[in-house]
Chain A
Amino acid sequence: MTRHAPGGDPGRAGWDPVVRCGLSGRADGRAAIVGDMPRVLLIEDDQAVRDGLRLALTYQGHTVEAVETGEEGLARLAGDPADVVVLDLMLPGMDGFEVCRRIRASGDLPIIMLTARNDDIDVVAGLEAGADDYVVKPAQARVLEARIRAVLRRTGGEPRGQGPKPGPERHGDLTIDREGLVVSKHGTVIGLAPTELRLLLELSASPGRVLSRQQLLESVWDQGYLGDSRLVDACVQRLRSKIEDDAAKPVYVQTLRGFGYRFGPL
């Protein structure tokens, strides 16, 4: 055995799976996932990969629905929603980007895309299409599992909300309800994907303070230095298109070239 698992989640030295069933919850206690085991919809056209991932995620305790095409996946979502979608970008028929856009258009379901290593452009396009995170194939189950867990944590409540429950904050035209996880502008609720919401919460928690991409990767994506800063950039773009009056002249989420991003000043 190697001492260091290549490509492993930096935060976790080992992987000790527990076969869990029923309503046992998370063994690590880090996540607060509403309901029982997370249901994963896996959309992957290659049967071997699909079977491998289904086996591994099921072994982890997830409930896995595995389908072959994007059309099938969308149909499945319409009937029985999942907690997270694991989506291969290269699909026959409707491709992964289109599936991603359609899922994103109809809700805030977290999406993790599976991508080939040499397809940098695909990564960017997938993130722009609304994916929350991506995993490069071939990937160990624990890597995918860590990403699933991280993205699901973003759908949970405010992780630092130990003190008295704060009321909704007002920032210009934006109202951010940290407790209810609702963001509205001029009184209209804005539908934000979980990662976008978590990013906005992270930035708006300290208005005027510059957060580097690495800091944001660590706090929002649980990835830190070994993460891909394009995750942050793509998510900022999507967030701006939803909350800014003019995404080209952002007011709420401002870029400081060479340093990172900052909420305000308004």
Chain B
Amino acid sequence: MTGWLFRGLRTRLLVAFALLSVFTALAVAGIGYVQARDGILQRTQDNAAVEMTNQLKQLYPLPRRPVNSSALQLAADRLNGRRNSALVTSGGHSEGNMPASVITPELRGAVQSGRVAWQRVDVGGVTQLVLGSPLLIATGDRRNPTVPSGIEVYELRNLDAEIEAVNRLARDAWLAGGAALVVALILAVLAAGSVLRPVGELQRAARRLGAGDLDARIAVRGSDELASVAETFNSTADSLQRHVGELRRMEADARRFVADVSHELRTPLAAMTAVTDMLDAEAKRLPDAAGEAVRLVSQETHNLARLVNDLIEVTRFDSGTASLAVDDVDVAEAVRATLRARGFAVETDLPDGIRARVDPRRLDVIVANLVGNALRHGAEPVTVRLRGDQAGITLSVEDSGSGLDEEVLPHVFARFYKADTARSRSEGSGLGLAIAWENARLHHGELTAGNRPGGGAVFTLWLPREVRQ
């Protein structure tokens, strides 16, 4: 779960922050770069144009036509400067140290149409600015103030410094963008941590709560959404704890009540039970009806005593006061003793020599309840089988009845569970199988119910060879 969270929410936050920062950096740096570059170049070009215009003024007055090459050379020399080289051309003659090849036909066309024009060209990997301007002659005529002189002046300007500045700008933009990305990622990690830490705490607390630790609470920090989740969790845990406490109290009260009632019943029952043998013996001599009544009282006293004893036994399991008095026993011998004592007629498969450390009296209770149950509710023959292995012993009690219904199986060890609702009261207390199950559990063993393939129910008891206490 933590791994999933780590991969999930944390990664998603990081990716979101990274994308956001990259987008923002790209947007800010990109727009800034483009504008700054354009601004720099524009200013450079404007300056170059102004400078060139100023220089061109030195060429006036223009020599008369046709212009010879020495005049062109003179003009070109004037225009040549530190950062630029010039070319002056007229009527197919060109003079100057600027190569004519960099002048594109478009630029030439623009200049010949009478405009000052410029173009950036790439000369041997270096970006340069080519400016071009025609020289005009003022006519003094208002409608047509100037006429072309036929002389065109071109200038090649080196843009190294400007390109360098633009490149620096780009580098700075990239650096700033990268730094922003790093900062954004750090912030994302911190943000993810600050979100995920409370989420992790919440998860741990929820897990503790689920495991039954009803005291699990979360420290509420701040007043954000996570704090409100924590508050909700705490108040939910509070109310859960309250309700569970209430339920436990009620259950404990109910169990104590059963225990108290059972104990209160025991004393009068002890007095009644003491005299039942006497009643049974005397009943023979009484008139029929009276004798029958006396036998009824005696019999029901026994049933009631058994019910109360079983109830007390169950309350001992519930309160955890049931204890084991283990002894090393030959299981087959112990089972035979139980069958003999109860007068149970069953088929047995009880190999001798399978020994285990168990509580013989509790084993007796389990076997007596299982076999008694099989004889009462199943059909004969009932078979008791014993097997042993390294870890434990397995005792199965099979009957030949119709078996247990599927919907009965899960409840067969429940207290007072009656599979056959038509039968109002069975011979047993209704607690026999529950007590057998509790006894098996007390041994750290298990008791299960099922059906045989050929029909008939089978109850299987497994007990460890030695109970670890």
Interface stretch, picked from B81-89, B166-174, B211-219, B276-284, is B276-284
Interface stretch, picked from B7-15, B356-364, B399-407, is B356-364
On chain A, the residues within 8 Å of B242 by CB distance are none
Q: Do B263 and A116 touch across chains, with their CB atoms under 8 A apart?
A: yes
The verdict on A140 contacting chain B, using a C-beta distance below 8 Å, is yes
Number of A-B residue pairs, CB cutoff 8 Å, is: 132
Please, how many angstroms separate the alpha-carbon atoms of A185 and B320 in the complex?
45
On chain B, the residues within 8 Å of A1 by CB distance are 295, 299
Please, how many angstroms separate the alpha-carbon atoms of A214 and B360 in the complex?
9
Q: Do B277 and A142 touch across chains, with their CB atoms under 8 A apart?
A: yes
The verdict on A48 contacting chain B, using a C-beta distance below 8 Å, is yes
Please, how many angstroms separate the alpha-carbon atoms of A66 and B281 in the complex?
23
Bitwise, B246-283 to A at CB < 8 A (1) or not (0) is 00000000000001000100111111111111101100
The verdict on B338 contacting chain A, using a C-beta distance below 8 Å, is yes
Q: Do A55 and B321 touch across chains, with their CB atoms under 8 A apart?
A: no
Partner of A228, one of B259, B276, B361: B361
Please, how many angstroms separate the alpha-carbon atoms of A49 and B269 in the complex?
8
Closest B residue by C-beta to A59: B278
Closest A residue by C-beta to B466: A258
On chain B, the residues within 8 Å of A117 by CB distance are 266, 309, 312-313
Bitwise, A245-261 to B at CB < 8 A (1) or not (0) is 00000000000001110
Partner of B321, one of A51, A120, A258, A259: A120
The verdict on A2 contacting chain B, using a C-beta distance below 8 Å, is yes
Q: Do A17 and B274 touch across chains, with their CB atoms under 8 A apart?
A: no
The verdict on A6 contacting chain B, using a C-beta distance below 8 Å, is yes
On chain B, the residues within 8 Å of A3 by CB distance are 343
Partner of B273, one of A15, A139, A212: A139
> Which range contains the number of A residues in contact with the other chain?
35 or more
Q: Do A4 and B361 touch across chains, with their CB atoms under 8 A apart?
A: no
Q: Do B338 and A226 touch across chains, with their CB atoms under 8 A apart?
A: yes
Closest B residue by C-beta to A48: B271
The verdict on A8 contacting chain B, using a C-beta distance below 8 Å, is yes
The verdict on A10 contacting chain B, using a C-beta distance below 8 Å, is yes
The verdict on B289 contacting chain A, using a C-beta distance below 8 Å, is no
Q: Do B315 and A225 touch across chains, with their CB atoms under 8 A apart?
A: no
Closest A residue by C-beta to B299: A1
Closest B residue by C-beta to A259: B328
On chain A, the residues within 8 Å of B364 by CB distance are 225-226
Bitwise, B300-321 to A at CB < 8 A (1) or not (0) is 0010011011001101100001
B48 nearest CB across to chain A (Å):
112
On chain A, the residues within 8 Å of B280 by CB distance are 15
Q: Do A118 and B275 touch across chains, with their CB atoms under 8 A apart?
A: no
Q: Do A140 and B337 touch across chains, with their CB atoms under 8 A apart?
A: no
The verdict on B329 contacting chain A, using a C-beta distance below 8 Å, is yes
B143 nearest CB across to chain A (Å):
132
The verdict on B344 contacting chain A, using a C-beta distance below 8 Å, is yes
The verdict on A35 contacting chain B, using a C-beta distance below 8 Å, is no
Bitwise, A224-243 to B at CB < 8 A (1) or not (0) is 11111110000000000000
Question: Could you tell me which A residues sit within 8 Å of B by CB distance?
Answer: 1-4, 6, 8, 10, 13, 15-17, 46, 48-49, 51-53, 55-56, 59, 116-118, 120, 137-142, 144, 212-214, 224-230, 258-260
